[in-house]
Structure 1
Amino acid sequence: MDDSDPLATARALLATGPLCDACLGRPFADRSFGLRNEERGKGLRVAVALADDADYDAPDADACWVCEGVCGRFDELAERCVEALDGTEFDTYQLGTRVPPLVEENEVLLREDAGLEPDAGELLKSEVNREVGRRVGRLTETEVEFERPDVQLTLDLDADTVDVQRNSIAVYGRYRKLERGISQTDWEKYDHSVESFVSPAITTAHRGTEGVFHGAGREDVDALMLGTGRPFVLEVKHPRRRHVDLPELEEQVNDDGDGRVEVEGLRYATYEMVERVKMLDAGKTYRMDVEFEEPVTAADLAAAVDALDGATVDQRTPNRVSHRRADLVRERTVYDISGELVDEYHAELTVDGEGGLYVKELVSGDEGRTEPSLAGLLGVPAVVTHLDVLAVEGEDEPFADPEYLLEADGDD
């Protein structure tokens, strides 16, 4: 058939059996723009009737042999989607549709019987997505989003169900750990974790099913995290609320922390932030209490510290983590280091180092696995007895960039 003649093509389609206007117009969807398929079909049906001096006869959608009534249910299907979203807060959505296999087969047969290509025009799935989707947006006063919507609706016409996928939200902040013996994430060996203090309040406030904690690195369990705190993102899974008063929530988290863990600067963040926080190779500033096995003089300590200031250090994977990390030699830079004796057996050091610098091993030497080291330069065994992290700052840190942070409602 010469499908360049619209009327001839329309006659061939109408000859296949009773067609609703939408199913008649859909094979022509790629030939005109700005019209709905129902409008295209109605126009073609009228044109054929006038050209053939025949009666205009448009069957109900329920009688259509192709869609089997689906095109007459757009309003009803949209209302069902809205009902499925009841109790869910969202600003953006996307709709997907599963069409019954028999209806998909009818679409193929329609084009085949009319002598058209199998993909001519538009398929029913696309029309349902658009027509039902636009109605959902109008009823809920929300916007369609194709990249990462707040909710993803799946309309299964065969099973006659509506599935709602609530995409996670990300809450960014910084935490301080003010008590030793607290791990960053839940670990059965320890009674408390930063996650256990932070996650429940944030997850509950957003009516989520689970909170997943992601830190920009982690400090040792026996280390404090002080100063400006460590960046983190809490990923709230399947939230029913997406907007809460974050300053108020911050106060609640800090009350739950009971002086052991506190947070600040809670903000909503893009989902991309989760990966950026996890992958951040941040520089860190540490304060350390050091104990020497033999007496050390102030002059010797000053000379050793001066040798380490700005030094590039070769560090083989430390013995203490070698069971879970690849045995590699890494180069790391000591940006700045200072220290003073407390007495001849004890000193206090402050170290500003490149991300990934093992500072305990920078002091002890780790049986020669770190070169140079404080112990090696002094010729005296040395260990870190207490470690506090004062700052975590990435050289290319995205966290202050408004492109990646979404302010809480009402904030400037």
Structure 2
Amino acid sequence: MFLDDENKRVVERLRALNLSLCKNCLGRLFGKVGRGLDNVQRAALVMSEHGYECVEPDNCALCGGIFGKLDFYAKSAVETMNAVEWNSFLVGSKFEEEVLAKEERIWMSTSAQHAEAIKSEFNREVGKKISQLTGKDVDFDEPDCVAIVDTRFDTINLEIRPLFIYGRYKKYVRGIPQTRWLCRNCMGKGCKRCNGKGKMYETSVQELIAEKVMLATQGKEHFFHGMGREDIDVRMLGNGRPFILEIREPVIRTIDLKKLENEINDFAAGKVSVEKLRIVSGKKVEEIKEEKCRKRYSATVEIAGTCTKEMLEKSINDLREKDIYQETPNRVLHRRSDIRRVRHIYDVLLNWVDGNTAGLEIECEAGTYVKELISGDGGRTRPSLTEILGIPCRVKELDVIWIHDEHTEE
């Protein structure tokens, strides 16, 4: 026998309700009973063993004909999804609240303990038909498309998974921010302060990279995720900074990344370049945002007083392999909390001295304010080169020359 005594009583209680159900809605009451069966097959067993009679879906007191339109919904979903490129999918659905409430009342009235929800079966069965029509598979983790079937209006809404492109960028000029900065006065609408452009700077690393990517993918909008960021007046050289460009609602997903890389580099020539482009999972965004990597800098330092090379070397040696204490710098206090942090300085090298100017290389923990390591920021960073040397110093030019994130390339 298909049903045990408990589920036989469910059938009797259902019969007492005098409800006309289709095979899908009857079988779903026992959706977790038996293996390798669909709900129509479960209903057939209940009908043969217990004499229960089912009706066609159009006459069903619960679904009201929805399970008679599975082919229609599947074909409509495929037509809608074919407006974009997709290789995997998932089905979601919306039902009238009364249908969902009626199903719960039937569960309660029959004491059904092994029932499956109507949305669950509907999504699965439409998904099967889409796979049969297209040869493409359901993906429960990261589908390219999610077709939301609205059974209330017989419409299909499409949710398109963003496309995530990982790479490394180098920034060769100063004065370019990493991301687009909206005008603080108009917040992007355009005003006199920003000459109607809606942004504070002419361009950004994000915009220089995204221009060609948006053309290639025909996406709707883009978001930039960097592994940290350099100041506007700092260049990013060396091995480049890891980033992910997120493209929302892409029409095209299959891209010649080497060709795209060349197009970006031609478009942004002299300002920005990219390399090692590849498609990644959206999970990679959190990984690079949370990554804390050592960085190496090249700094041109101005010294406001007489200083010998020996004095500099001695002062620099006092910073090597030391912890420093930094309060939030005055220059960013208007947008960041005033907190005290400890940062480790791994290495400081003196590369050259020319009068009152010196070239240093500094390797330090992620999150170190390098400019303040040199200037002291009025005592808010201690120790600093200014404090140890006893002469005011400041960074004239700063470049990031290496980011130690080798494992992120794996």
Q: TM (normalized to structure 2)? A: 0.88
Opposite residue 95 of structure 1, the aligned amino acid is V
**Residue pairs, 1:42-53, within 5 angstroms:** 42-48=44-50
Shift of 1:248: 1.0
**Paired residue secondary structure (2:372):** helix
For the structure 1 residues 306 and 6, does the alpha-carbon distance in structure 2 shift closer, same or farther, using more than 3 Å as the test?
A: closer
Q: What stretches of structure 1 of length at least 5 have no aligned partner? A: 50-55, 402-412
Q: How far does the alpha carbon of each residue in 1:247-306 deviate from its partner, in whole angstroms, 9 at most, with x for none? A: 111111111112210001111112111112222222111111111111211111111111
1:32 and 1:140 map into 2 onto residues whose CA distance is: 29
Change (3 A) 1:5 1:279: closer
Residue equivalent to 2:193: none
TM alignment of 1:266-281, pairs within 5 A = 266-281=277-292
Give the corresponding residue for 1:71. 67
Which digits, 9 at most, give the CA deviation of each residue in 1:316-362, with x for residues without a partner?
Answer: 21111122122222111111111144322111111111111111111
Q: 1:109 to 1:223 in 2, by over 3 A?
A: closer
Aligned to 1:167: 161
Aligned partner of 1:4 in structure 2 is: 5
Identity of aligned residues (%): 37
| In 2, Cα distance between equivalents of 1:370 and 1:17 | 77
- CA 1:315–1:123: 2 relative to 1, 3 Å: closer
Q: For the residues of structure 1 that align with 2:107 and 2:368, how far apart are their CA atoms?
A: 66
Return closer, same or farther for 1:27/1:339 CA change in 2, 3 Å cut-off.
same
1:38/1:14 CA distance change after superposition, 3 Å: farther
- Select which of 115, 120, 137 maps to 1:121: 115
Instruction: Please give the alpha-carbon distance, in whole angstroms, between the structure 2 residues aligned to 1:311 and 1:109.
Output: 69
The structural deviation recorded for 1:242 is: 2.1
The partner residue of 1:104 within 90, 93, 100 is 100
**Distance of 1:167 and 1:149 partners within structure 2:** 7
State the distance in 1 between where 2:63 and 2:253 align.
37
Contact 1:13 1:111 in 2 (8 A): no
Give the direction of change, closer, same or farther, for the CA distance of 1:6–1:292 in structure 2 (3 Å limit).
Answer: closer
Q: 1:39 to 1:313 in 2, by over 3 A?
A: same
Pick from 301, 314, 319: which aligns with 1:303? Answer: 314
Q: CA deviation at 1:72?
A: 1.3
Alpha-carbon separation, structure 2, partners of 1:80 and 1:301: 74
Of 2, 26, 29, which residue of structure 2 is paired with 1:27?
29
Kindly state the Cα deviation for residue 25 of structure 1 after the two structures are TM-superposed: 1.9
Q: 1:27/1:305 Cα in 2 relative to 1: closer, same or farther (>3 Å)? A: same
C-alpha deviations, 1:50-75, integer Å up to 9, x for none? xxxxxx97643222222211111111
Of 107, 126, 140, the match for 2:134: 140
- Match for residue 408 of structure 2 among 383, 399, 403: 399
**Count of equivalent residues:** 390
Q: Distance in 1 between matches of 2:128 and 2:363?
A: 55
| C-alpha distance in 1 between matches for 2:388 and 2:101 | 79
Deviation at 1:148, TM superposition (A): 3.0
Deviations 1:354-398 (A, max 9, x none): 11111111111111222221122221111111111101224xx65
**1:185 corresponds to 2:179:** yes
Say which SS state the counterpart of residue 331 (structure 1) adopts: strand
Report the secondary structure of 1:83's partner residue.
helix
Q: Which moved more, 1:59-68 or 1:246-255?
A: 59-68
Is there any run of 5+ residues in structure 2 with no aligned partner, and where?
182-198
Task: Give 1:52's aligned residue.
Answer: none
> Among 70, 79, 88, which residue is 1:83 paired with?
79
Helix, strand or coil at the partner of 1:235 = strand
